[in-house]
């Protein structure tokens, strides 16, 4: 991680769960870390868990990644205030617990796709352009899901697995475009199994299910960012021991 010391990381969905763990770990690792979320007050609270120097490196900006105007404003602020984005972690994601074939859930389907797919692409575009503009060999990390590698036999996941299948395809599309453009910017997808976060609320999972912790996924982000310049991690899949799907 030494090469990233003092560089700028932008993390979406940073107010809780995996995103909160990532911003804390990146700040402790020496990065100027920008946490994006609708609930910025929760990111501000995270500073209490950090050593003083790391706390100074953590900044919060309000952003709804399903809103393109918000994204444009955030990346302009990051450029004006911090110089630009060197690392982007696309962590923001939502799930609506409803049957896919239930009539009348159009707004829920759109909300999931706008956040999990369109927002991820728009943030990646802005981050990539920032890196290219400054000749930075940066890194884009997508926090995906094992639901993007199959469809778990879990009721009412709705369009969520489809959104994560899209992230896999988008990751590879970006990798091809970066290679064809002659850029040394990396892109990585990290696919966790079930993680103990708010996204599982209302899913009625078995009481004895094994769950990952948010810190397990943050450790994977640190690992992939810490690889040498000639190494690109395409995909990391992480499951809790004994996961049932």
**Which residues have a catalytic role annotated?**
160
Tokens 């912790």, residue located = 213
Q: How far apart are CA 241 and CA 163, in angstroms?
A: 25
| 130 φ/ψ sector (left φ>0, alpha ψ -120 to 50, else beta) | alpha
Q: How far is CA 12 from CA 66, 77, 142, 199, 245, in A?
A: 11, 15, 10, 15, 27
| 204 φ/ψ sector (left φ>0, alpha ψ -120 to 50, else beta) | left
């Amino acid at each position: 991680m030494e090469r990233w010391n003092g560089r700028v990381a932008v993390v979406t969905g940073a107010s809780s769960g995996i995103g909160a763990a990532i911003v804390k770990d990146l700040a402790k690792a020496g990065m100027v870390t920008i946490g994006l979320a609708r609930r910025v007050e929760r990111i501000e609270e995270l500073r209490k868990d950090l050593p003083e120097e790391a706390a100074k490196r953590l900044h919060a900006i309000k952003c709804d990644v399903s809103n393109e105007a918000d994204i444009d404003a955030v990346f302009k602020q990051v450029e004006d205030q911090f110089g630009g984005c060197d690392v982007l972690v696309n962590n923001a994601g939502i799930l609506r617990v409803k049957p896919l074939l239930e009539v009348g859930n159009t707004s829920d389907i759109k909300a999931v796709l706008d956040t999990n797919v369109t927002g991820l692409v728009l943030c990646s575009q802005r981050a990539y352009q920032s890196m290219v503009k400054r000749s930075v060999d940066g890194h884009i990390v997508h926090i995906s899901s094992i639901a993007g590698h199959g469809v778990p036999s879990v009721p009412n996941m709705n369009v969520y697995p489809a959104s994560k299948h899209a992230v896999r395809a988008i990751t590879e599309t970006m990798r091809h475009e970066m290679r064809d453009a002659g850029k040394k910017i990396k892109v990585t997808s990290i696919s966790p199994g079930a993680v103990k976060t708010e996204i599982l609320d209302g899913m009625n999972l078995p009481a004895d299910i094994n769950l990952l912790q948010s810190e397990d996924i943050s450790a994977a982000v640190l690992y992939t960012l810490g690889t040498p310049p000639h190494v690109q991690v395409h995909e990391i899949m992480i499951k809790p021991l004994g996961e049932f799907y």
